[in-house]
Amino acid sequence: MAATDFKDYYAILGVSKTATPEEVKQAFRKLARKYHPDVNPGNKQAEANFKEVNEAYEVLSDPDKRKKYDQFGQYWKQAGQGFPSGGAGVDMGGFDFSQYGNFDEFINELLGRFGGASPRSGRQNYSYRTSTGRTSSGFSGFNDFGFQDAGAATAQDSEAAIALTFAEAFAGVQKRFSLGNETLDVRIPAGAKPGTRLRVRGKGQINPMTQQRGDLFLKVELQPHSFFQIEGDNLVCEVPITPDEAALGASIDVPTPDGSVNVKLPAGVRSGQSLRLRGKGWHLPKGGRGDQLVKVAIVPPKDLSQQEREYYEKIRAIRTYNPRSHLQQVKL
């Protein structure tokens, strides 16, 4: 990459170099919504900004990539790899790298890192983790003749986040996903949950040495829902009931993904108690459904009519049950 091609990913997302992963994610989401093609139809500048924002987040959200980016700047993608002998479609900014054994030697000498010693006069031991998940030394991958071993230039996988609504994740959906300069149509199967990783083969990073592409892994993120939450394979919701419904029992309607169902409350149900609706939960990977757990919350009325107040006072006057009677025996 030529010096003029360098992109400051921190500046693109509007965060500092010390930003936490959560701050990076929040900045990305804000800008992705701002520049999304659906919000800016036909706006080429917004489309370009959207691609830059995705590119910046792809690097800064990955701990390994961010570490290399912070360490090597514009040359972070070439870090830890041998130099092409010429061509291979890689622009190295016009530098003569023939005097160096590999890219890290050049960077170490240029920046004076790793103890300040010149790699050619005193090599320092260090390691890095590639996106393929294997650890190698800064000088591995080269044999005695200076040629890179075939196994050292492997394709690299990458990961990106994709946000879904509860409805999209529950039923499955075809999503259009922007990745750099590419637009992908990805089929999300029914039952995707937060943290689910979906593989898109052949859409990962391009290895500059072999021009082979790894795979892209999409990590599912769910947008919050106003009523439902997910716990494992179950859906969880909270339903308010009145004090008389709790005392006497009642029949109430409860929303489910399949529509409203009638649920019978037993007399004496307690606040915080959960009722199970079998087979009304989330889709399971091997088929079938989890359960829906209906958590009961007893909610007293804030505004009482005169008649309601009179009846509540009568109930209080004749009530024999004291839910705090056992507290009289409590001592330190």
Burial of 106 (0-12, 13-18, 19+ CB in 10 A): buried
Lowest mean pLDDT among 41-55, 248-262, 291-305: 41-55
Q: What's the domain count of the chain?
A: 3
Residue 140 forms part of a structural domain: no
pLDDT at 227: 96
pLDDT tier for residue 72 given thresholds of 50, 70 and 90: confident
239, 275, 232, 283: which is closest to 258 by C-alpha?
283
pTM of the entire predicted model: 0.51
In the predicted structure, residue 93 carries a pLDDT above the cut 90: no
Q: Are residues 198 and 287 located together in one domain of the fold?
A: no
At 116 the pLDDT is 41
Question: Looking at residues 60-76, what average pLDDT do you find?
Answer: 83
Assess whether 283 and 316 both reside in one domain: yes
- The answer to whether the beta carbons of residues 36 and 47 sit under 8 Å apart is no
In terms of domains, do 205 and 274 share one?
A: no
CATH code for the domain in which residue 55 is found: 1.10.287.110
Which range has highest mean pLDDT (79-88, 116-125, 129-138, 312-321)?
312-321
Same domain, 90 and 15: yes
Question: 218 and 235: one domain?
Answer: no
- How many other C-beta atoms can be found within 10 angstroms of the C-beta atom of residue 256? 17
Tell me which of 141 and 16 has the higher pLDDT.
Answer: 16
Residue 238 pLDDT level (bands cut at 50, 70, 90): very high
What pLDDT score does 150 carry? Answer: 37
Q: Residue 236: inside a domain, yes or no?
A: yes
Q: Are residues 198 and 298 in the same domain?
A: no
Distance CA 246, CA 240 (A): 10
CATH number at residue 282: 2.60.260.20
**pLDDT confidence of residue 86:** 43
Confidence of residue 3 (pLDDT cuts 50, 70, 90): very low
User: Are 43 and 87 part of one and the same domain?
Assistant: yes
Q: Given this model, what pLDDT does residue 148 score?
A: 35
The mean pLDDT value of the chain amounts to 78
Q: Is residue 145 included in any domain, yes or no?
A: no
Domain-embedded: residue 181:
yes
- Domain presence at residue 138: no
Identity of residue 165: T
Quick one: 107 and 19 in the same domain?
Answer: yes
pLDDT digits (tens, 9 = 90+) for 152-189: 345 588 888 889 999 999 999 998 877 778 888 889 99
CB 80, CB 127: distance < 8 Å: no
Q: So what's the pLDDT on residue 96?
A: 52
Residue 301, pLDDT > 50, answer yes
pLDDT of residue 316: 93
Both 165 and 273 in one domain: the answer is no
- What are the start-end ranges of the H helices in 220-323? 243-248, 306-318
Position 82 in a domain:
yes
Same domain? For 34 and 110 the reply is yes
Greatest mean pLDDT among 38-47, 88-97, 135-144, 319-328: 319-328
pLDDT band at 206 (very low <50, low <70, confident <90, very high): confident
* Residue 252 and residue 314 share a domain: yes
The verdict on residue 123 lying in a domain is yes
Range of the domain at 243: 229-323
Highest mean pLDDT among 131-140, 261-270, 278-287: 261-270
Asked, for residue 328, whether it belongs to a domain, the answer is: no
Question: What proportion of the chain, given as a percentage, has pLDDT over 70?
Answer: 74
The verdict on 9 and 37 lying in the same domain is yes
Apex CA 304: angle with CA 303 and CA 306, to 5°?
140
Q: Taking Cα atoms as reference points, which of 206, 205, 203 lies closest to residue 185? A: 203
